[in-house]
Chains A and B, each alone.
Chain A
């Protein structure tokens, strides 16, 4: 089942909500534009703020196939775009020779055709199916190297791939392209110029609370409020790696598994590993620092309650 592309920014928001993705209006605006203008969407942000999730949710909500290309250093054409099926080609040549017809030029034309091509993600993404063009997720582009980035230029601007032996393969309907980067290095301007840029920031407290309650519907209300406030406080600290939304959710899950209904010093110390991933950071926060932050959180919530009450 495929659904139509959203017609307004509100529709885009609703579409993401429907996939349990609580988005800022800014993100919805950029996504809407990308869909409307047929441009790739370039998402940058710290690790764990939900960049990859957007592509997944989009493919699910629109009922499109998700084609994912995970980037790594040394990613090359044969694992990202296409590869010849060498064994089949060899057999084809042997068969032709055994049959006694060896018109070499014709044979070369025969075995260098689409039938002998193994499609890798990027080539797959140019092919539409009955649900429409797929969602192409190019994940963590910053992990690959500059030559591959340059290779992507043709695909991203014209949605076509040139294979020397065959010619140019062009997408009938351009795929929806989402590119993510953790910014471990800067991506070249030439590539960014072809995309719409969006910086995915850490969510505000209200939005983060909404995300936690959406993803973990059974969570205790007091606990969720406290832990979100605590994480927000933690992001103001001088840490090597700040916790992302993914970490908040992990932590919330961990605390729920431990049947906690409110934060306390021990619980925080024991589960801090779900939130912080560097030993230095954990050592810094564990104990008195955590207790102090918790104290602040409790005070603020109490004063909020008294204002309301």
Chain B
């Protein structure tokens, strides 16, 4: 059922039979993308059909970019789209592309994305949603195997149990406490306030139209809102006993306010913001457990921070963001490159707060190399071994 571009092209003048077939194929292509996790709505499919009619289907490259313009809307969807396009619209060179994707020459930065996406695409190809593609699949069945190469790391999945009633109550209490003191910063937008410092001309004019001779002055003040909060949480072996509590904490914060980005790291960095946005804490944590593959592994703080700085910092640390690092500072890499990355991070964020659960032990000294490397770049160093200390953190955050 793959599309015969050549045939469609030859009849492109009297568009009808070929066009309806083309439209059908675009529809299936959209379905494939959707089941691979790209948000492709029906409106986009209609647009795509119009677009293809507009450019004609003579040149493969034009057709590619036409589909790209309509179905892709985030930079990180490019690889997935590219693979899907070449599989669906039958490219004889697909095997070459796959081989090159598996070779270690792939840019390290994208390696993780690539792996993840390819597997998603493979799943989508296998799933029932694309049953109509069966015929096409039959001659490309070996692709599935190529897509699903195994993970390198020893996976240690954590199975989150259901929360006990007592825990739930405690967490709820913490959420309540966290909601009250949230530091906010003035923005450049205004809100009507008669005790404000600036005159609200629009409101004043309206009032004066009503009032007659006098001009009743109306005032405004800058609207305040809380800044972006970025949380980087260590889930390595040494942090194992706390990680569940911190995940609850992050879930509470994520659902309490907007503009929260959450990451976890041990040997690699994972963005879990989307998973934590689920209202139900158990579902959210299950999602996280599935998404993260390095539970209780060793710690490579320097490497993970480096990845954060290179890939994420410019995207999430805009608009005066506050960064929260949750880690014990014990680094497997002997703090290699850690100091430089901490410096870069502290320069890109408005405020850098470090929560360290080890701080609860009396006589704690910054002896580990990792801690020594991190400490000079931190604005605030806090203990965080139980919910009470997290509530304490709420107070820190409420301070300007």
A30 touches B69 (CB 8 A): yes
Q: Which residue of B lies closest to A29 (CB)?
A: B65
Specify which chain A residues have a CB less than 8 angstroms from the CB of B315 in the assembled complex.
183-186
Assembly CA distance A84 to B314 (angstroms): 37
Measured CB to CB, the closest approach of chain B to A172, in angstroms, equals: 23
Task: Give the secondary structure class of B's interface.
Answer: helix
State whether B189 touches A76 (Cβ < 8 A).
yes
Q: Does A259 contact B (CB under 8 A)?
A: no
Q: Which of B70, B258, B309, B344 has the most A CB atoms < 10 Å from its CB?
A: B70
Q: Which of B38-46, B87-95, B243-251, B276-284 contacts A (4 or more CB under 8 A)?
A: B38-46
The reply to whether B68 and A26 form a contact with Cβ atoms under 8 Å apart is yes
Do the beta carbons of B62 and A29 come within 8 Å of each other?
yes
A-binding segment of B5-13, B208-216, B323-331 = B208-216
A34-47 vs B, Cβ < 8 Å mask (1 yes, 0 no):
10110100101000
Which one of A55-63, A193-201, A246-254 is at the B interface? A193-201
* Known contacts A84-B205, A93-B209, A197-B73; A184 and B189 CB within 8 A of each other: no
The digit string for B42-83, where 1 denotes a CB below 8 A from any CB of A, is: 011001001100110000011011101110111100100000
Tell me which residues from 305 to 347 in chain B have a Cβ below 8 Å from any Cβ of chain A: 309-310, 314-316, 318-319, 340, 344
Pairwise interchain contact B319-A9, C-beta atoms closer than 8 A: no
Residue of A nearest to B186 (CB): A74
B187 close to A193 (CB less than 8 A): no
Determine whether B188 belongs to the interface, using a CB cutoff of 8 Å to chain A.
yes
Q: Any chain A CB within 8 A of the CB of B202? A: yes
Residue of B nearest to A32 (CB): B55
Asked whether A192 lies within 8 Å of B318 as measured between CB atoms, the reply is: no
Which residues does chain A contribute within 8 Å of B61, judged by CB atoms? 25-26, 29
Counting CB contacts under 8 A, is A129 at the interface? no
Q: Which residues of B contact A142 (CB under 8 A)?
A: 318
Chain A residues near B310 (CB, 8 Å)? 238, 240
Let me know if A152 is at the binding interface, CB within 8 A.
Answer: no
Contact of B69 among A73, A90, A111, A196 (CB under 8 A): A196
* Residue contact A240 to B344, C-beta cutoff 8 Å: yes
Contact B209 A33 (CB under 8 A): no
Asked if A207 is an interface residue, CB under 8 A from chain B, the answer is no
A146, B259: Cα distance in complex, Å? 10
The answer to whether B201 and A26 have CB atoms under 8 Å apart is no
Q: A104 contacts the other chain (Cβ, under 8 Å)?
A: yes
Specify which of B69, B187, B314 is in contact with A198 (CB 8 Å cutoff).
B69
Q: Any chain B CB within 8 A of the CB of A261?
A: no
* A29 pairs with B188, CB closer than 8 A: no
Contact partner of A33 (CB less than 8 A), chosen from B51, B74, B187, B201, is: B51
The proximity string for A residues 82-114 relative to B, scoring 1 for CB distances below 8 Å and 0 otherwise, is 001010011001000100001010011001000
Interface residues in B227-271 by Cβ distance below 8 A to A read 258
Contact, CB under 8 Å: A184 / B318: yes
Say yes or no: B70 contacts A44, CB within 8 Å. no
Report the bound CA distance from A42 to B72 in whole Å.
Answer: 11
A195–B51 Cα distance when bound, in Å, is 13
Q: Which residues of B contact A34 (CB under 8 A)?
A: 69
What per-residue 1/0 map shows which CB atoms of B94-137 lie under 8 Å from chain A? Answer: 00000000000000000000000000000000000000000000
Interface residue? A305 (CB, 8 A): no
* Most chain B beta carbons < 10 A, residue from A34, A146, A185, A186: A185
Contacts of A9 in B (CB 8 A): 55, 62
Per the bound structure, the CA–CA distance linking A90 and B202 in Å amounts to 11
Interface contact A86-B201, CB-CB below 8 Å = yes
Closest to A44 in B: B75
Inter-chain CA distance A199–B82, complex, in Å, is: 13
Enumerate chain A residues within 8 angstroms of B209, measured Cβ to Cβ. 93, 104, 107-108, 111
Q: Are A145 and B319 in contact (CB under 8 A)?
A: yes
A110 to B188, CA, bound (A): 31
Query: Across the interface, which residues of B come within 8 angstroms of A108, CB to CB?
Result: 209
Shortest C-beta distance, B171 to chain A (Å), equals 28
Asked if residues B188 and A76 are in contact (CB atoms below 8 Å), the reply is yes
- Of the listed residues B50, B212, B213, B319, the one surrounded by the most CB atoms of chain A closer than 10 A to its CB is B319
Q: Does A280 contact B (CB under 8 A)?
A: yes
A74 engages B75 (CB within 8 Å): no
A73 to B319, CA, bound (A): 8
Across the interface, which residues of A come within 8 angstroms of B78, CB to CB? 199
User: How far, in whole Å, are A182 and B314 apart by their CA atoms in the complex?
Assistant: 9
A-B contact pairs, 12 of them (CB 8 A): A25-B65, A73-B187, A76-B189, A89-B205, A90-B208, A104-B210, A104-B212, A143-B318, A147-B189, A193-B41, A238-B310, A240-B344
Closest 3 CB pairs of A and B: A74-B188, A192-B73, A29-B65
Chain B residues with CB under 8 Å of chain A are 39, 41, 43-44, 47, 50-51, 54-55, 61-62, 64-66, 68-70, 72-75, 78, 187-190, 201-202, 204-205, 208-210, 212-213, 215, 258, 309-310, 314-316, 318-319, 340, 344
